[in-house]
Structure 1
Amino acid sequence: MKDTNIESPCDAAGDLPVRPGRRAALGRVLAVAGAAWLGRAGAGQPGQLDDRLVRILVPQTPGTTPDSVARILAPRMSRELGVAFVVENRVGASGMIGMEAVAKAPPDGHTLMSNVSTTLTLPYFYDKLPFDVLADFTPVGLVGSGNFALVVNQALPVADVAQLVAYAKARPGALRYASPGLGTHHHLCMELLMAKTGIQLQHIPYKGSAGATTDVLSGQVEVMFLPVQVAMNHAASGRIKVLGGTRRQRQQPYMDLPTLDEQGVAGYDVDPWYALWGPKGMAAPIVQRYNALLQSLLARDDVKGELAAVGLTARPGPPADLARTAQAEQRLWAGLLKTAQGSTRAG
């Protein structure tokens, strides 16, 4: 079942309906990142936007990181372009409903998608998809990178990754790990850890992160991967221990947190990244102009600060960087998920 959540259009202030005066402003040529954006006079020409509403579709629920990214960007994009932007959550079927809506939208620049890298693994969990996760979308630009952390319940008698590996090897299949479901970073990070260390843990999938996290905090489940800022907040309560981060290098602002790689899990590097996409076939001038705007926004301190508040580091770059990053992401998980311990098929 799909769930649609639509916010009212944003004007320059970010929370009011677009006033007629702002539409009139489209008669001017707007400067964005040193390049002229689209005036009303150019509407309808190839590679040009008009003044119709722009939707940023989010295949995840409100409050998730892709949703936060869209809501950080939408009012600022509206302010810069003089066009109303709306954030629309199209959720269900592990993100497939929202992604299909974007894939089938006209490639005229009036539909964008804020999404997370894990949706690139959908082909490894579902036999039939109504779209190609790469070929049916146009990369617009990377937005930011996050970091996950390996955590254990406070009662588990381990203090670091090496001790956890030794404990798990002595008790094959006895330890349980929680996740919000197949294909989430919480799940994929553990599959990679098991593959690299040879340990076996029992997967306990939940329908959301709240229930999974609650059971790790209470000791019903012993192990989990969490977004690092969430992990650190819970660690302050003394109910979990944070063992290591998933990125190859230590990340700000948690430079005291060692990585899994430096603790002996050689080559472990999982970068949860977030990006903007459009439907397949978007004209290059529209893609380039959206990317120029995105890069200019990601250079601003206010945007960096709001991204940091949801655990992300701004990661500006051209569309080609996103395309290469997405291809590398698929390669990272392809071999692992085809040979993962236990079944990873969902249908």
Structure 2
Amino acid sequence: MRRSHLILALFIFAILAAVVLFFGYIPARASMLYGPPARSLSISDRIEYSTRLLSHGDLLVAPLNPNGGEQPFRIEQGESIFSVATRLEQSSLIVSAQAFYDYVVYTGLDLTIQAGDYTLSPSMSIIDLARELQDSTPEDVTFVILPGWRLEEIAASLPTSGLEISPEAFISSAGSPPQVLDISSSTMEGFFYPDSYRVPRSATVDQLLDLIARNFVLHITDEMRAGFAAQELDLYQAVTLASIVERESIQNDEQALIASVFLNRLKVGMTLGSDPTVQYALGYDSSAQTWWKNPLSLDDLKFDSPYNTYIYAGLPPAPISNPSLGALQAVAFPETSPYYYFQATCDGSGYHTFAVTFEEHLANGCQ
């Protein structure tokens, strides 16, 4: 009898030892493979999710499709982790919603997954994808340059762009234009092609300037270059004139006619008499908090600067803004006109009246 009791006791001890060893091994094994469990899990939950993870095996580390392309994926505010896991599987991004769910609960990543827009791929493993969902901040940002902005206005938009480039660094680096522009100038003013740019958040100032410069070169066609030459302008002169046309025009369909007025004036040696060139020379108006003071006083028009086209004939030494494609095309392909003068109409429409003589120009003034 004693012997049978001893055997039974040893058997029970062996069973208990096996159970303890088994349930000690599983969490340890899971921790070694997938990291420590979340502190918020109870002991029983740790054992349960450790067991689940080990049962999933390669599902956690093998991507659904190693050659899969990227696709957008949005997590809504307040969406449950189970819903996220289900939609990931339905979107063919992961092989198993259950494996994803078990992994994020085990690691505690379910508590830190952020709502937002993501770019995901089935070439990512469940583990990689779960980590990706911890930050919805996009890798790229959209950087916008508006037509007619000057260098300082572009630089001022950087702090809210998401790029890690300071306005000071941008302005300083713009003093050495990228070689792709092939211009001899101490400023890139005029060659910041207005557009919406997708830029890596980590881009350097030189990378940003190179991207913008290449976009400019891409949009200047051989036909446009021939058009500039037909107006007896080289590229730099054409961009300079286009920068004036950009600031003078409000309605885009007038740009080619405005360009014709300035070209007519250049051909006969008249001063261009353009207000925006004076505005550029004056610089920032702190009282109005603008780079483009308006209206200009009579004293402003006498401001001595090579950019003041009321005083000095010909083009200013450099562009005064960054012209749109429309303004550049207007200089390349201007309308043919007899006009030497224009001024804003009195109806506030943004259009202009044009005149051949100064007397006609005065007669067009608002009463």
TM-score calculated relative to the size of structure 2 = 0.24
Q: Which has the higher strand share?
A: 1
**Structure ranking higher on relative contact order (CA contacts 8 Å, 6+ apart):** 1
| Greater gyration radius | 2
Q: Larger helix proportion, structure 1 or 2?
A: 2
Q: TM-score, length-normalised on structure 1?
A: 0.25
